[in-house]
Structure 1
Amino acid sequence: MTTTVRRTGALAGAALGVAGLVVLSLFVGVYDIADQGFGGEMFLISRVPRTLALVLAGCAMAVSGLIMQLLTQNRFVEPSTTGTSEWAALGLLVTVLVAPAAPLAVRMIAASVAAFVGTMVFLGILRRVSLRSSLVVPLIGIMLGSVVSAFTTYLAVSTNALQMLGTWFMGSFTSIVRGRYEVLWVVAIVVVLVFLSADRLTVAGLGRDIATSVGVDHARVLLVGTGLVAVATGVTTVVVGFLPFLGLVVPNVVSMWRGDNARSNLPWVCLGGVAIVVVCDIVGRVIRMPFEVPVSMVLGVVGAVVFLALLLRMRARD
């Protein structure tokens, strides 16, 4: 009982801390919301939607990383190291070129479908490759993502859409305003579905043989998990852009601290994803005010450091 109370108290304390960061984000920016003219209106039009987008995107991408690590049994994978994000960008670009007037929902669906196809291609390659090291998995994903990204860039250059593509890759919340972020609520549904299927995802992460022996349809769980990751990645790419290493950093830090139980780790992964994205966004807004540094740049630096730390930790164990 004492242990349960202690864990509940720790989670509540962490939630309060993250809530404090979210509130702080509402009051950080160039525009003075205390202005008597349009301060309140700007607060509702810009600050609130941006903060909600930070919460939803951070939670979704952190959970996506956890799902992919469970399904591949590898701690070094997440949407930006498996090519999933690059496939989503390709689907988005093709949709814009084929149907320039397509609404945001259509672009979201196209990006999600492309992300799903790309993730299945990645998993199919893994089945046919002899893996002698856990580092081979992210290397395959990074190479696959680079090939897809190169083709996407070529297509953008050929169609004079390179500037638009650069905006997608930027990963910034600058353009988030009321009327543009609402589609991100779809990823909240994804997170709820992950909570409901957490036990099956955990069992599936133990391998096909073990999952089958306890009555879990491994193939079905794999498809469902991949679909959830694809939707989260596609929607986030359409609205925000790339958020690199977020799905790598948060699940690894949580699992090193609490073990590998997906259900008990999910609240911590969600809180960790939100906290990192909000902190990186605040740093990006403050460091060169009145200009902004994209969140993806700050996340890239943090993620690279953590990735190297994980590699050195694994080498020390060996």
Structure 2
Amino acid sequence: MQTDLQPPLAAAPSQRIIPTGLPRSKGWWLNGLLLVLLLVVMVWSVGIGAVSISVPDVLAILLRQVGWEIAAVEPQQETVLTVIRLPRILLGVLVGGVLGISGAAIQGLFRNPLADPGLIGISSGASVMAVLMIVLQLKIFRDLSSLSGLYTLSLAAFAGAVGTTLLVYTLARKNGRTVVSTMLLVGIAINVFCEALRGLMMYLADEAQLRTISTWSMGSLGGASWEVLQVATPFLLLPILLMPRLSKPMNAFALGESQAGHLGVDVSKLKRNVVILATLGVGVAVAVSGVIGFIGLVVPHLIRLISGANHRTVLPASALLGAIVLTLSDLVARTIVMPAELPIGIITGMIGAPTFLFMLIRGAGNRA
């Protein structure tokens, strides 16, 4: 018989996420190192592309934007950097950060290092709503398009993410509390249904619609602009800033729901906050960039291998490493086949799957 303390995919006792790892002071060193690395990666990647911009020129252009004229810059380089690459890099940092920290929080919620935000239907709900909009072109979508213009697909995807997660959360409630094991099972069922519905829509789609679905489903930051960034930033920043405040109750929750309750943790509130913040962040991320896999699964797992499972370190470090990984993946996606561009989901999948397999094999070897 399954209980809250032993969800169906719960890790073995030697694998279960427990609040151990780096002391807080050393955890700050890890986060500081990742922050410096992120800044270096951003400055380096923003200068690479069809129009090459050296690091000194990048710094000169950025300083020029805030009123410091330290060197002459070419107008073409300035336009490429400020109009095209900079919003794309910043959006990639926010999307990667929210995918990483949401994955870490969901793994903490399920007390399983193999969980990711897709388990509660966020990505599948966003994907199926976007596909429905592309293929069926129902009146409600046409009305939405007249109101929101270019943001129609993003709004539909976000609505799908919120709707499926709300359904999973509602069905998982029993006697006034949310049962984690039931949430997991309901999420799996909803994911299967969404994938079936998505497959049906793809069967009905014409060639142009299939191309649009394929491009969106594999993820891309090609639609980044200052307007998109302005709309998405508050919703992407909110989970990144608020989730680390849940680290202390999540450390207690890792010991089990009963133990966390005895330590004074409001378990129901914690579950609700994690689900709401993860849905908000991942839903908006999928809406503006499409479906990007493996960031929310591999990044937190890698951080736990480095630092242990103390959420005071894991949550912010996962956000920083997620931003780094997605920024580098986007760099590869937009330069490896120039002047064309690969979907970023292909890059994250090709990097993430072997990395995850390596971590699993290494972990199995250590336990042997």
C-alpha separation in 2, matches of 1:273 and 1:235: 16
Asked whether the 8 Å contact 2:122–2:162 carries over to 1, the reply is no
The within-5 A match list for 1:267-282 is 267-282=316-331
C-alpha separation in 2, matches of 1:82 and 1:109: 14
Match of 1:44 in 2: 82
Deviations 1:135-175 (A, max 9, x none): xx79x967753441231232354465443322321211122
Does residue 65 in structure 1 map to residue 103 in structure 2?
Answer: yes
Provide the TM-score with structure 2 as the length reference. 0.74
In 2 relative to 1, CA 202–9 (structure 1 residues): closer, same or farther, beyond 3 Å?
closer
2:292 match: secondary structure: coil
| 1:121 CA displacement | 7.6
Task: Provide the aligned length of Structure 1 versus Structure 2.
Answer: 308
Deviations 1:40-72 (A, max 9, x none): 233222111101001100100000100110011
The residue identity in structure 1 corresponding to 2:311 is A
In 2 relative to 1, CA 290–106 (structure 1 residues): closer, same or farther, beyond 3 Å?
closer
In 2 relative to 1, CA 304–142 (structure 1 residues): closer, same or farther, beyond 3 Å?
farther
The residue identity in structure 2 corresponding to 1:171 is G
Unpaired stretches in structure 1, ≥5 consecutive residues: 130-136
Match of 2:33 in 1: 13
2:195 match: secondary structure: helix
Deviations 1:151-206 (A, max 9, x none): 12323544654433223212111221221232331111111110222222332333
| 1:114 CA displacement | 2.6
Asked whether the 8 Å contact 1:172–1:296 carries over to 2, the reply is yes
Does residue 145 in structure 1 map to residue 191 in structure 2?
Answer: yes
| Equivalent of 1:203 in 252, 255, 258 | 252
Does residue 177 in structure 1 map to residue 225 in structure 2?
Answer: yes
C-alpha separation in 1, matches of 2:343 and 2:289: 10
| 1:113 CA displacement | 1.2
| 1:4 CA displacement | 7.1
In 2 relative to 1, CA 94–214 (structure 1 residues): closer, same or farther, beyond 3 Å?
farther
Asked whether the 8 Å contact 2:120–2:187 carries over to 1, the reply is yes
| 1:216 CA displacement | 1.5
In 2 relative to 1, CA 6–208 (structure 1 residues): closer, same or farther, beyond 3 Å?
closer
The residue identity in structure 2 corresponding to 1:99 is F
Match of 2:46 in 1: 26
Match of 2:290 in 1: 241
Provide the TM-score with structure 1 as the length reference. 0.84
In 2 relative to 1, CA 10–47 (structure 1 residues): closer, same or farther, beyond 3 Å?
same
Identity of aligned residues (%): 24
Does residue 253 in structure 1 map to residue 296 in structure 2?
Answer: no
Moved more, 175-184 or 224-233: 175-184
The residue identity in structure 2 corresponding to 1:149 is E
| 1:10 CA displacement | 4.6
In 2 relative to 1, CA 206–293 (structure 1 residues): closer, same or farther, beyond 3 Å?
same
Does residue 127 in structure 1 map to residue 175 in structure 2?
Answer: no
C-alpha separation in 1, matches of 2:314 and 2:336: 32
| Equivalent of 2:94 in 48, 56, 71 | 56
C-alpha separation in 2, matches of 1:8 and 1:48: 28
Asked whether the 8 Å contact 1:11–1:268 carries over to 2, the reply is yes
Match of 1:132 in 2: none
Asked whether the 8 Å contact 1:85–1:115 carries over to 2, the reply is no
1:216 match: secondary structure: coil
Does residue 163 in structure 1 map to residue 211 in structure 2?
Answer: yes
| Equivalent of 1:213 in 258, 262, 269 | 262
In 2 relative to 1, CA 49–126 (structure 1 residues): closer, same or farther, beyond 3 Å?
same
In 2 relative to 1, CA 291–121 (structure 1 residues): closer, same or farther, beyond 3 Å?
farther
C-alpha separation in 2, matches of 1:128 and 1:235: 25
Does residue 99 in structure 1 map to residue 134 in structure 2?
Answer: no
Match of 2:351 in 1: 302
C-alpha separation in 1, matches of 2:113 and 2:286: 22
Deviations 1:244-279 (A, max 9, x none): 110111111111111111122223212211111111
The residue identity in structure 2 corresponding to 1:48 is L
C-alpha separation in 1, matches of 2:272 and 2:27: 33
Moved more, 53-62 or 270-279: 270-279
